[in-house]
Amino acid sequence: MLLIFDCDGVLVDSEVLSCRIDAEILTEMGVPYTAEDIARQFVGVSLKDQIARIEAERGCTIPADFSKRLNHALFERFETELQPVPGVREAILSLPYPRCVASSSTPERIALSLRVTGLSDLFEHVFSATEVACGKPAPDLFLHAAAQMGANPRDCVVIEDSSAGVQAAIAAGMRVIGFIGGGHCGPEHREKLRAAGAPVVIERMSELPEIIQQLISPHP
């Protein structure tokens, strides 16, 4: 059994901050977005895929320094404001299974997020969408993580907060648990994850150990 955790919105409560900053910088560059637009369209999507979609949909060219400006602003805010998802450390420590992180974010952002929230020591293995050809909702990242960890996809459980992540896990042939405890999750988020294919959705990390046990227990 391998547990694969998304980072943003699952381990760290970063999505509200990142969506706000993302929208501010795009708007300053002449491509107006609101934080709500970003949350609705791009949560769980890699930055590379986000830029490609914006350029295609808006018929524009995103300035080459967008990634640099975004990361600078994000990292500055993360250092002082980023918090772990409540209860996530305790939930992870109660689960006696191999685990890793597989995130759409860059390696630098993942490392910073885990460091400032005090979660770095929980994960020896961290995988980024920058390591694969296609980000979520394609299965590439999760399949890459499983291969690197020596796990069969059918023996993996993914914990995800985004529709793209849920779809990626299912496409990879893995079991998936939806999580809606992040600050960016509105009242409609549970149904969004269910519509994406998550058979079970939890609101608190304290629920995770019991759900994992139910998933791996043989059915009568």
Cα dihedral angle (28, 30, 35, 41), rounded to 10 degrees? -150
Question: In this structure, what token pair is assigned to residue 61?
Answer: 């060219």
Helix, strand, or coil (residue 91): helix
Helix, strand, or coil (residue 137): coil
Question: In this structure, what token pair is assigned to residue 106?
Answer: 């860059």
Helices (H), 43-159: 47-58, 66-81, 88-93, 107-116, 140-149
Q: Is 155 part of the annotated catalytic residue set?
A: no
The end-to-end CA distance of the chain, in Å, is 20
Q: How far apart are CA 92 and CA 90, in angstroms?
A: 6
Q: Is 65 part of the annotated catalytic residue set?
A: no
Question: In this structure, what token pair is assigned to residue 62?
Answer: 């995103």
Contacts (Cβ under 8 Å, ≥6 apart) of 54? 26, 31, 60, 62
Which candidate in 6, 13, 22, 161 is catalytic?
A: 6
Helix, strand, or coil (residue 214): helix
Question: In this structure, what token pair is assigned to residue 60?
Answer: 């524009």
Which candidate in 8, 22, 49, 161 is catalytic?
A: 8
Residues annotated catalytic, as ranges: 6, 8
